[in-house]
């Protein structure tokens, strides 16, 4: 069995959140989730329990594209350390840094 993508997880969590917001019990929501997403009852229940902990639907996940680039080794070490310390993925750290840099260039360019 393959792992769910981030987009699939967000979609399922939002669906579970919606079911709970509409007044379904945990058990009812788990049954609907299992049917709608072809999940086991156990996995559906996990999504519903997790959805109980969020205050609003999650933003839709944006598809990502893998890239390969070469950077100095010391930069990679710092990047990995920062990603681990911040709880973000390396891709999220790089994406945020690039977007911030582009925004600064537009203001100064």
Q: Whole-angstrom Cα distance, residue 10 to residue 15?
A: 8
Q: What residues contact 92, with CB distance under 8 A and at least 6 apart?
A: 83
Number of domains the chain contains: 2
Model pLDDT for residues 89-108, shown as the tens digit of each residue:
899 899 999 999 999 888 87
Q: Is 20 domain-assigned? A: yes
| CB 82, CB 97: distance < 8 Å | no
Q: Is 65 domain-assigned? A: no
Model pLDDT for residues 4-23, shown as the tens digit of each residue:
888 899 999 999 999 999 99
Q: Which of 15, 57, 6, 62 is nearest to 38 (CA)?
A: 15
Structural domain harbouring 33: 6-52
Q: Is 37 domain-assigned? A: yes
Q: Is 66 domain-assigned? A: no
Q: Is 61 domain-assigned? A: no
- The pTM of the whole model exceeds 0.85: no
Taking 70 as the threshold, does the pLDDT of residue 1 lie above it?
Answer: no
| CB 31, CB 15: distance < 8 Å | no
Angle at CA 107, nearest 5°, toward 101 and 109?
A: 90
Q: Is 98 domain-assigned? A: yes
């Amino acid at each position: 069995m393959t792992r769910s993508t981030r987009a699939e997880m967000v979609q399922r969590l939002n669906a579970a959140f919606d079911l709970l917001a509409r007044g379904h019990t945990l058990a009812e929501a788990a049954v609907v989730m299992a049917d709608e997403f072809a999940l086991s009852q156990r996995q559906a229940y996990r999504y519903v329990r997790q959805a109980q902990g969020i205050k609003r639907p999650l933003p839709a996940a944006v598809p990502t594209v893998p890239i390969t680039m070469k950077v100095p080794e010391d930069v990679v070490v710092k990047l990995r350390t920062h990603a681990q310390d911040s709880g973000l993925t390396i891709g999220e750290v790089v994406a945020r840094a690039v977007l911030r840099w582009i925004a600064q260039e537009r203001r100064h360019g």
